């Protein structure tokens, strides 16, 4: 019987239209799929995932691999690990959380190995050792309960990797319907050269940006279109798509020939600010519809504190120029940083409304409380201020914005946490067509309550936040 590897993408927050490809798992086995049988279980789209896993465990796989972000995915990943260990199978964890806390993660009794950082080479070397009965000691990038850390591994050369094995999943499960037709997501690069203090990139990618060559990106788009010609729109989920403007321009020119539209989920305000009119016109003519950017704050003090590396005047210029070229900006913001005052929060709310005034076509975005994730400079700052992180892996499953009020954050009082949470819900209500939520119930309620939410936000008045209570209840229903 051929050697089997089982990979699991745990569920997280349901009901928000999350049909992103499990690209992390797909890429992890890019050096293995020709030699091993690979089965990917995605709990988000597979209702009978447990029965499927149990049937595969009967075949005695080489290992079960689990990926997880900080938050709810950890809870579901541990459930998978328990099932695997009960059947005598070795368990390997990877993904961002395990990469940021590898020592703590590998100490868990349900976990045998952690692949820290990129998995293409590390996981392949580990699996080959397990399958052949060789030692797993001193494998770079791998933490072992038995042998400890095998040492650092260099970042992967993306353009030396084999073609992305999309055939390992049913792509039809990840095609979603949207305002531009049938939609598929892709990722064309890794990392970001910026040094934002709240971002995982500093630890995982060491503030380095690497991109697939334009020809490879365009070939992947053509492959997907050949398999599913009904797809009309692509979302690029890069951390910073325009970090290399020349590379991006080549991709843009190629997309023009494919008769599709597209949007960019991740980029930096500076990258757009530095574009000339010819570049912006080329983006519009290629079918680019939207660009998602994160100003994070309307307070220059906070922007500088988190090292966001832009000034507000640049954002105002970008906002107007994108309006001129009919490219829709999608914005997002955060609150609750150490040292942040009510004045800083008010500055952010004022900025949101001013951007909308200057360019009515924008998605105004939300102001969400920040979570200090391990491995980031902001987390180090939090520790200095008295923050006590979880002592066990299970504790990290509670670290997500929906549980913000229950987190012990030394610099934010309980009353202020409640206020910041209400502000988030009110900013959510002023986005009835918010791109990241596809609940018809939310859209209906938000369209009714939007005027009240705007009134409260403009006046910074949150006494008896009945409307926020309503959206909180709906959020719990929708997100599970």
| Residue range(s) of every CATH 3.80.30.20 domain in the chain | 176-479
1 versus 21: which is more confidently predicted? 21
- DSSP E strands in 302-410: the ranges are 328-335, 367-369
Predicted confidence (pLDDT) per residue in 108-123, tens digit:
999 999 999 999 999 9
CATH topology of domain 4-151: Rossmann fold (3.40.50)
Question: pLDDT grade, residue 15 (50/70/90)?
Answer: very low
Q: Are 387 and 396 in contact (CB under 8 A)?
A: no
pLDDT for 1 equals 40
Strand partners, 91: 64
Q: Could you give phi then psi for residue 288, rounded to 5 degrees? A: -65, 125
- The CA-CA-CA angle for residues 49, 396, 116, to 5°, reads 75
**Mean pLDDT confidence for 186-213:** 93
Is 324 strand, coil or helix?
A: helix
Predicted confidence (pLDDT) per residue in 141-183, tens digit:
999 999 999 999 999 999 999 999 999 999 999 999 888 999 9
- 3-class SS string, 31-50: CCCCCCEEEEEECCCCCCHH
The predicted model scores a pTM of 0.93
Predicted confidence (pLDDT) per residue in 294-346, tens digit:
999 999 999 999 999 999 999 999 999 999 999 999 999 999 999 999 999 99
- What interhelical angle do 440-459 and 342-358 show, nearest 10? 120
pLDDT for 14 equals 53
Q: How far apart are the first and last CA of the chain?
A: 39
CATH dotted code for 176-479: 3.80.30.20
Predicted confidence (pLDDT) per residue in 390-403, tens digit:
999 999 999 988 88
CA distance 259 to 442: 32
pLDDT for 446 equals 83
Taking residue 335's Cβ as centre, other Cβ atoms within 10 Å add up to: 25
Q: Are 318 and 328 in contact (CB under 8 A)?
A: no
Average pLDDT of the residues of the chain: 93
Q: Are 39 and 84 in contact (CB under 8 A)?
A: no
H-only helix segments in 228-330: 245-255, 269-273, 277-285, 300-305, 312-324
CA distance 219 to 198: 34
434 versus 369: which is more confidently predicted? 369
37 versus 2: which is more confidently predicted? 37
Tokens at residue 80, please? Answer: 């998978």
Tokens at residue 414, please? Answer: 């309980």
Question: pLDDT grade, residue 31 (50/70/90)?
Answer: very high
| Residue range(s) of every CATH 3.40.50.2300 domain in the chain | 4-151
Taking residue 125's Cβ as centre, other Cβ atoms within 10 Å add up to: 20
**Mean pLDDT confidence for 425-433:** 89
Predicted confidence (pLDDT) per residue in 236-292, tens digit:
999 999 999 999 999 999 999 999 999 999 999 999 999 999 999 999 999 999 999
Rg, the chain, Cα only: 23
Tokens at residue 190, please? Answer: 């890794």
Taking residue 52's Cβ as centre, other Cβ atoms within 10 Å add up to: 15
> DSSP secondary structure string, 64-122?
EEEE--SSHHHHHHHHHHHHHHHTT--EEEESHHHHHSHHHHHTSTT--EEE-S--TTH
pLDDT for 444 equals 85
CA distance 315 to 332: 13
Which DSSP letter does residue 464 get? S
């Amino acid at each position: 019987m051929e050697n089997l590897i089982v990979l699991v993408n745990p569920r997280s927050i349901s009901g928000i239209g999350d049909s992103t490809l499990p690209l992390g798992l797909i890429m992890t086995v890019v050096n293995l799929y020709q030699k091993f049988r690979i089965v990917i279980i995605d709990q988000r789209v597979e209702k009978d995932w447990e029965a499927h896993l149990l049937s595969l465990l009967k075949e005695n796989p080489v290992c079960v691999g689990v990926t997880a972000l900080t938050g709810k995915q950890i809870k579901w990943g541990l459930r998978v690990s328990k099932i695997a260990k009960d059947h005598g199978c070795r368990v390997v964890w990877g993904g961002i959380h395990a990469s940021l806390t590898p020592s703590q993660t590998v100490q868990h009794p349900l976990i045998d190995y952690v692949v820290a950082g990129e998995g293409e080479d590390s996981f392949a070397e580990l699996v080959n050792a397990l399958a052949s009965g060789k030692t797993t000691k001193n494998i770079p990038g791998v933490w072992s309960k038995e042998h400890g850390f095998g040492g650092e591994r260099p970042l992967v050369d993306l353009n030396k990797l084999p073609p992305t094995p999309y055939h390992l999943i049913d792509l039809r499960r990840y095609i979603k319907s949207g305002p531009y037709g049938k939609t598929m997501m892709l990722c064309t690069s890794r990392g970001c050269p910026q040094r934002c203090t709240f971002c995982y990139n500093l630890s995982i990618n060491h503030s380095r940006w690497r991109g697939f060559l334009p020809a490879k990106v365009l070939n992947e788009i053509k492959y997907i279109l050949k398999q599913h010609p009904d797809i009309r729109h692509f979302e690029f989920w890069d951390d910073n798509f325009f970090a290399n403007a020349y590379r991006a321009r080549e991709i843009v020119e190629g997309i023009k020939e494919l008769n599709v539209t597209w949007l960019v989920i991740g980029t930096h305000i500076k990258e757009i600010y530095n574009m000339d009119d010819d570049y912006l016109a080329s983006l519009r003519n290629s079918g680019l519809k939207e660009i998602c950017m994160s100003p994070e704050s309307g307070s220059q003090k906070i922007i500088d504190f988190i090292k966001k590396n832009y000034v507000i005047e640049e954002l105002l210029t970008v906002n107007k120029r994108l309006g001129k070229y009919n490219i829709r900006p999608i914005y997002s913001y955060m609150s609750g940083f150490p040292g942040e005052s009510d004045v800083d929060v008010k500055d952010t709310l004022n900025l949101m409304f001013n951007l909308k005034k200057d360019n009515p076509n924008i998605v105004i975005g939300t102001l969400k409380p920040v979570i200090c994730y391990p491995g980031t400079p902001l987390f180090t700052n939090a520790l200095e201020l008295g923050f006590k992180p979880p002592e066990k892996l299970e504790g990290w499953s509670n670290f997500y914005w929906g549980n913000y009020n229950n987190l012990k954050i030394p610099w934010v009082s309980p009353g202020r946490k409640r206020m910041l949470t209400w502000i988030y819900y009110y900013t959510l209500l002023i986005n009835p067509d918010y791109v990241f939520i596809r609940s018809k119930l939310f859209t209906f309620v938000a369209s009714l309550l939007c005027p009240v939410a705007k009134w409260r936000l403009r006046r910074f008045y949150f006494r008896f936040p009945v409307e926020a209570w309503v959206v909180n209840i709906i959020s719990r229903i929708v997100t599970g």
